[in-house]
Structure 1
Amino acid sequence: MEKMLETKLAEKLDIPKTEADRLVNAVKDVLIECIQEDKNFRLDGIGSFNTSLRKERFGRNPKTGETLIIPEAWVVNFKPYKRLKEAVNS
């Protein structure tokens, strides 16, 4: 999937694939930094990334059946915007 993005980006911008690879990696790094700093990130026309704290909860080891505590953790959710949904369904 990432290679397809790099190839299409290289074609669209008329740049070498190596440059497109660097660009994709830089965008991924910046996206992660923005989510870490602000906990939320909107990409107009695409969707929004939101974080939420999942509470500590009980779980079960599927192999042993042993009950265990799953610690609280931050999770990232993605909500696509209407434009992306329409593009996928057209």
Structure 2
Amino acid sequence: MPSVSIFHTNNPEGPANEGMLRWEIQQKRNDPESKILNEFKVNFEKMGSNELIEEYCEKLGGITIEQFLHKLQIFVGNIEDDEREWREQKYGKQ
């Protein structure tokens, strides 16, 4: 009878796994920016309005819509976190 071994690794094996790992890391954040982005996500699911995006751009210090969408893409794990060092300098290590 053949033997089968199942290995679990922390190294992702594809894009879906990479995105899930990035999302899990982002969910552990507790800096003010992550709290605002999470609040936006909850409110957008309820209301879904462009005015809401502008409101949250202001909450994050008057950033542009493009900057906001970039931060949101990082927060939901769709793209690699290229702002980690900046956040560590601003908010401390997470």
Same fold (TM over 0.5): no
Structure with more of its chain in helix, by fraction: 2
TM-score, normalization: structure 2? 0.25
Which structure has more relative contact order (CA 8 Å, sep 6+)? It is: 2
TM-score, normalization: structure 1? 0.26
